[in-house]
Each structure stands twice: as C-alpha cells, then as structure tokens.
A and B are shown apart, each in its own frame.
Chain A
Amino acid sequence: MNDFLTFSNMTLFVYYVLSNLAYLILLLLAIYSSTRYQRHLSSFRVERIKRSPLAPPISLLVPAHNEEKSIVQSVDSLLLLDYTELEVIVVNDGSEDGTLEALKSHFQLLETDVLYIPEVVSKPVRAVYMSQIEPRLLVVDKESGGSKADAINAALNAASSPYVCVVDADSILEKDALLRVMAPVLADPARVVAAGGIVRVLNGSRVEGGRMQEVRLPRRPLEVVQVVEYLRAFLVGREGWAFFNMLTIISGAFGIFRRDLVRRVGGYRASAIGEDIDLVMRFHRHLRESGADYEINFVPDPVCWTEAPADLRSLARQRARWQKGLLDVLWRNRDMLFRPRYGRLGFLALPYLWVFELLAPLIEVLGYTTIILAAALGVLSREFFIQFMIFGYAFATMISIGSVLLEEITFRRYNDWKDMARLLTYCLFEHLPYRQLHMLWRVQGMWQFLRGDAKWGTMQRAGFQGAGSK
C-alpha cells in the first residue's frame, strides 16, 4: 500500500510539473505569436478585404434548436456583418419552441422549392424558406437529428459559397469578424483550409439590436471564472498550438472552412458529440493522408461573443458533453498516435490531448485521493503535502494571470479598471474550487460516454438581453 501511494504521488508530481510546464510553454509561444500578430495588424486594414475582388463568397451556417429568444436578433446581426458576398442559412433543427415562427414572422418567410442537393447526410428536410425582405437569407426546416452536426450538414447541402462559416445561433459576431477571420485564407488560399476566431463570454456585456455595445464582466462569480477560462483556452491554448500548425479544434461557435473539403470528408459526423473537434481531426487525417501542404489557422481578434452557462447544472452538462466529445474523437483517431505519416500531430498534439486533457480529470481525481490518503497514513509528510498543493495552485494561477496579461497586452476588451481587477481576482479562484468541480463534471462526462449516453443536454438560456443585462 505504502509503495503504491509513494509511486502514485511521484507520478502525480511529475504529471503536475509536466502539465504546467506544457502550459507555460504554450503561454510563452502565445505571447510571442500574439505580439507578432499585433505588429502585423498595424500594417493591415480589414476594409481592403472588403473591397478586394478576390474575397470569396461565404455561406454562414446557423444551426438553431429552441432558440426562440435570440434567433431573430442573431440573424439580424449576421446580416449586418461586413462582408462582400454573404448568404445566411439558418437551420431550424426540429425546435419545439417558436424558433421557426419567430423567423417566419420577422423575415416574412415563404416556402420555396430552391435546389437542395443532399450531398452530405442529414435528417429529412421538411421545407426550405426564403425571405420576402432579405434575399440573402435561407431557412431550412428539418426534423431533429439530435445533434448540431446533423443540422450543419443540412445547411451545407443548401450552401452555395466556396467557404462556409459555422456560427451558433446564440452567439454574436463582431461586425468585422468575417473580414478578419478570412485574412489568412485570402493571404494563402491554397494552403489555408480552415480558420477559427476567438470565442468570448457575452454574459454581463450590453447588447443592443444584436450588436455588442459595451464589453463588461458578468456579475456572477461562476460566469467570471468562465471568462478567465475562455481567455486561457483561446488566447493561450489555441494560439500556442496554431503556432506550429497543430490546432486540433476550431470552436463550433465560430469557424470558417473550405466547403469542398468539408464535403470531401463526408460533412459533419452526425453522431459526433464534439462535432467541431471531430471535423478538424478529420481534416487533418484526410490532408495528411493525401500528402497535402495545408494550414489550419487561429486568428485571435475576430470575436464571437457567446452566452456561457450561468448556472451550475447547465455548466456541468456542457463540460460533461465537451469531455464526451473529446473522448469520442480521440478514441476514433487513436490510430493516428505516434504514426510518422501524421507528423507532429501524431507525436505531440494528440499525445498531449490524451494525457493532459482527456485523462487529466481521472489523474487529478485519483491524485487528490492518493495524496490525501498518503498524508493521512504518514507516507507523505503533511508539510510536504501542503507545500505541494500550494505550489500546484500557485503555478496554475500564474498561468491564468498570464492569460489575462496576454489579453491586456494585446486586445484589451475589458477596459474598465474594476473589471480588470475582478478578472485578476477571479484568477485566484479558477484553480480552487472551480477546477476541482470541473474535474468531477468531466469524469462524469467520461462515465456517461462509457455508458453509451451521447445526449447533448439542454442549457438554460437568457437570450441576448438577459445574458447581457447588467
């Protein structure tokens, strides 16, 4: 028993040091990459993309399931986006509320027989609507497929542009977000096959007419901690991985993809729980296997504001679902591990995801148990136990503060002094007790997956006004 506990504690120690070291490296890379990008921005004008005849048309795909409260505002704001040629395809994925009715009455929809070619598989389409007042809008009404992926597939079939951009119906894109996210695509259309922007927490900010008016931190602690978490995940994680072209996820809330490639890989996998990571992994697989020279990019300034769960139950469901999605995708792609044909993806990114993302909750929960047990049994000096815990906490907190620093030296969306002070304060709570709760939800997600529960679950939504009200 003692030997086991000693071994376990040693393993945990090494694991903890390695994981924090990995994050520290990602943070440093992200700082380097972001500051470089900032300098690039000084010589770059988004309006030039808007005027460029080379800017390709984009189809915005908006899957909507029970989005009655926010759908009209959301579509209105998408139609106001700055871009040369745009079509918006909303898919009503078997909503049980008044999503379709809200769209019908606001946009004066008429059922139509426009061409719908089912090139990728989705549940049957009930009707396709066009608007009497907005020619760029198309609404596809379909039976519920039980997944966002199925809804996106239906939208893909109706899309007619060479690039598609998936946007969540409960999210708001900044006016120039498309121009910015398309910048790497325009710079190198042959290589860049997909690009993702940053997703930020909408809660607390003031939204009017589907437009972000004032960026503020939310009031509730649970929401503020998520702001810190999103900053760390996007500004540090994605930026760091994208630096070496090893990005394995483009957020499902906002990402742009080459449509022919999406179709070539068979569209979104309808049964995928994490359809975003699944698609990017299949892109990597397909392109690496065909020996293509490609790039999947992350652009840190086009912002998509999204409503984060405001209550523990919704948050727990969301995080459990993310963990299920990760497990699902990693397990399916396990053959890519340590195979030379998949390059650094197989040797670095995927092992990292397995060890420091997927297994993290298991290792940490197991670690907490054994370390407490060892301290109680006297195998581990209690003094050392406390010191080790403090060190782990302090190091992780430093990384969180580092991500706030990154935000501060680059994009500075939170201008208010009070907001900044609160953001820094909440960095102290991200790793105690939020992190421990998060681990439990993720373990729960893995357990649900192993039991075969692949449901999406629901989230209580306040709509833009509710989420944004201060």
Chain B
Amino acid sequence: MPSVFNRIIDFIERLGPAGFVVQAIVATAAGIGLLLAFILGRRAWRHRLFQKRDRRAQEIRLHWDEIVSSEWPLQEWNVEEMDRGIVETLLLDQLETAQGEEARRLLQCLRLSGLLDRRILEARTRHGWQKRAALVLLGRTRAPEVISALASALDDASEETRVAAIRGLGRMGIPDAAVPILDHLIEGRLKLPSTVIQNALLNCSRRQPSILVPYLRRADAETRALVARALGEVATSDLGEDLLLLANDAQAEVRASAARSLGETELNLALSALGALAEDEEWFVRLRAVVALGNLRDERAIPMLVDALCDANRFVRLRAAAGLAKLSEHLETILDMVGEKKDRYAMQALVSELQRDGVVLEQVSELLGPAKQSAERILLRLVRSGALRLLVSTLLLHTNWRARVAVARLLARSGAEELAPLLENAIVKERSPRQRKITGWVLQRLAEGGASSKRELVPAR
C-alpha cells in the first residue's frame, strides 16, 4: 500500500508542469513552518536556559568568596561549561574595577582555576570567532603572561583576529602591552586601520608616554605620524625636550601632534613653541597649536590667539575665538587688541563665540554685582561690535527682572543706532505693558542720543 507521501508525489506528477509550482508551494510552506518552529522553539529554549543560568549564578554568588580564595572545590564549579562561564564573567567584571590586592586576588583565582590557561590555549589554537573571543577576554585579564599570546595573534591572516588581538592588548592598559604593537608597527607587519592601532597605543602608553619616543625616532614617515598622534594624546610635562624636537619635524602631521601635546607641558616651553606653530604654513598645524594655546588658559597666550583670530583659515579663526572666550577674565584687553586689528571677521568670530559660550550672559549677570563697571564697558564694546540681538533678547526675556533693567540702561547709553529697528520690532510684538514701557524708554533715549539716568527708569513691581 503506497504511503501518504507517495500519494502526494503521484498527485504532483499528475499535475504536469503545474506540479513544479505545487512543489514550490509545498517547499515554501515547509520553509515557513520550519522558520516558525525555529523562532518559537528557540525562544522557549533560551527562556529555560536563562532561568537555569540565573539560578546557577545565584548559587555561585553565595559561594563567591570561597571560590575567589580557592576554598570551594574546583569540581563544584569547574566542570560544567555554564558554571565556568559564569565564574569567568564575574571575575572579569570585577577585575575591570578592582585595584591593588583585590585585583591580585581575582587574577590569582583565574590562574589557579586554570581559566586563564584555557583561554591562552584557545587564543593560540582555535580559529575564527572563538579565537577572537579568547583574545578579547585575555585582554580583560590584564595579566602580563597573556601578552605573548596576544602578540602572536597580531600576525594572524584574518584582519578581524588581528583587530581582536590589538584590542586585547589595548585593554591591558600597561606599557608592556604597547611593545609588541610598536615592534610590529616599526617592522611594517601590522596591517590594521590606524585608529584601532592608535586607540590601543593610547591605552597602553598613558601611564608611560616616554615609551613611544624611541619608536618615533626609528619609524618611517607613515608610522611616525601615527605614533606622534598617539603621543599627542598622552604626552605629559616630562616629555618637554622631546616634544620640542617634534615641533620642528619636517612632517606636518608630526608637528600637529607635537602642538597637541605641547598643551600638556611646562608653560614657558609650551608658549614659545606653540606661538611658532600657530604660524605654521599648514592650516591644521596652526589649528592644533591654537587649540592647545586656548587650553593653556594663560593670559600670555592672548596675543597669539588674537593673531590667530585673523588667520586666513576659518577653522583656525573659530578655534582662536573659542580659546579667547575661555579667558573671559581678560575680556577688556582682548577686545582692545582685537579692535586694534581692524579685522571685521575676527571681531565677528569673537563676538559670536562669546555669545555661544555664555560669556555675554555672564557679563549681564555681572551688571548686578561688584564688577559692574567692567561688565558695562565690556557689554558696550560688544553692542558696538554686533552683539545686538542677544542683548535686546536679554532686555525682553532675561529671567531676572533687575538684569533687564540694567541692560535697558546700558543699551540706552550705547548710542548704537542699529538697535532701533530691533527695539521697534520688539515693542510691536511685546504684550506686557511694563516691558513695552522699558523698551520704549530705551528707544527714546537712543533717539535723543543722551546718557541714561537711574531716576528716569524705575522698575515697576
């Protein structure tokens, strides 16, 4: 007797050419069924797995101190793959934040339990994603003995594995881990995107930036730029003389990195070197130098930043303005110096940055404080240099009513005729009679061209 399956096949064959479509329908329906079964089955399986894992993790946590101190027998947790995974995850998570004795204790547990050796073996013998996972985990241990396993993976044929290896080394964050990276780099054996290498170098050399300097001297042009970029991020003041040499390098990229790092060195040394770099022929070197000068927050940098404010490159001008905005305690001097330059774009960039950086609003608040006179002088200069809208807005919308009145008096004395259309427009839109009155008063004083008097403007309560 033919089976049901045979009968279906007979039926399809009898259909002739249409049988092909029926076969396709059957196959597709089977596909749909399998997909549905897989999705739902997998969900159910994962649900049970996670429940079991959570339960087991709970039990392991109860014995955590005994596990770390190796008092709980290994066979209790080191047999099942799931248990091992839980313990390893917990150990590595704790290692991320642990310091000193605690870190040593956790690392010792990894060693004694064989978890570390197992991962080293996997990193050396496995392939594909298993190898990569092992490499990254090894990096998280920060154990010195894993460096050689990670270093040998830098020569792997797969780029993904090399990335995992270098990430692992980067995660260790110790100078010793930088050595294989730098050696591979100098020998031209490290074929990876530069940012990945740079990131790893940054992490590893942060504690000892001087480790990069000898390699910088030996490297070819491309590698020099890369190592210099890393050095630029981690440099400290004790690298002073080395950085001066880099500031005179023939390669613009290296000079730019030197500029970046000089911001971290001894002030006198940095100022003169950065001053020179701020006049470099390459715009990005000037840009880096100007950013570093701004970060110094020293008044001796002001003349250089003011010069940079007149740079032909827009980015340099904007960064110089940002640097000057950070020196707001010397604002009067800065405004004088920029005014002397008679460069409209320079003043525009500065005024814009002072507004964005909140310096103008700070000065408005100062109108009510002890530094009132200085704030008035600065704000008057700013009004005449183009910060009209912000001050009119402050007059209309400042949260402190006394500040509004102070601004009204200031604007009335400014003599800036360009304010008139803005104020007229504000009066038309303004709903509050009190605000209209004040705005009208400012407008009137401006039209008269006279100075204000406190008696004429009494804030209504």
Contacts and interface: CB of A to CB of B under 8 A. Distances in A.
Contact of B390 (A112, A160, A390): A112
Contact of B399 (A40, A111, A132): A132
A408 interface: yes
A381 interface: yes
A459 to B, nearest CB: 31
B402 interface: no
Contacts of B28: 391, 394-395, 397-398
B394 A108 contact: no
A409 B35 CA distance: 12
Interface of B: 15, 17-18, 21-22, 24-25, 28-29, 31-32, 35-36, 38-40, 42-43, 129, 132-133, 135-136, 160, 164, 167, 193-196, 198-199, 202, 233, 314, 318, 348-349, 351-353, 355-358, 361, 386-390, 392-394, 397-399
Contacts of B397: 108-110
Contact of B18 (A110, A381, A394, A404): A381
Contact of B32 (A109, A132, A186, A397): A397
A408 B47 CA distance: 13
Contacts of A54: 195, 198-199, 202, 233
B399 A108 contact: yes
A112 B21 contact: no
Contact of A387 (B25, B132, B356): B25
Given A113-B387, A417-B43, A135 B352 contact: no
Contacts of B32: 394, 397-398, 401
A110 B393 contact: yes
Contacts of B136: 42-43
A94 B208 CA distance: 55
A190 interface: yes
Contacts of B36: 401, 424
Shortest Cβ-Cβ A-B pairs, 6 listed: A43-B136, A110-B393, A115-B352, A394-B28, A387-B21, A111-B393
B29 A394 contact: yes
A111 B390 contact: yes
A3 interface: no
Given A115-B349, A397-B32, A405 B39 contact: yes
A109 B389 CA distance: 12
A451 interface: no
Nearest to B44: A417
Contacts of A191: 193
A127 interface: yes
11 contacts: A40-B160, A43-B135, A43-B167, A110-B394, A112-B356, A113-B352, A117-B314, A388-B21, A391-B28, A394-B25, A424-B36
B35 A398 contact: yes
A43 B399 CA distance: 49
Contact of B386 (A113, A138, A160, A391): A113
A188 interface: yes
A395 to B, nearest CB: 5
Interface string A320-346: 000000000000000000000000000
A130 interface: yes
Contacts of A48: 199
Contacts of A401: 32, 35-36, 39
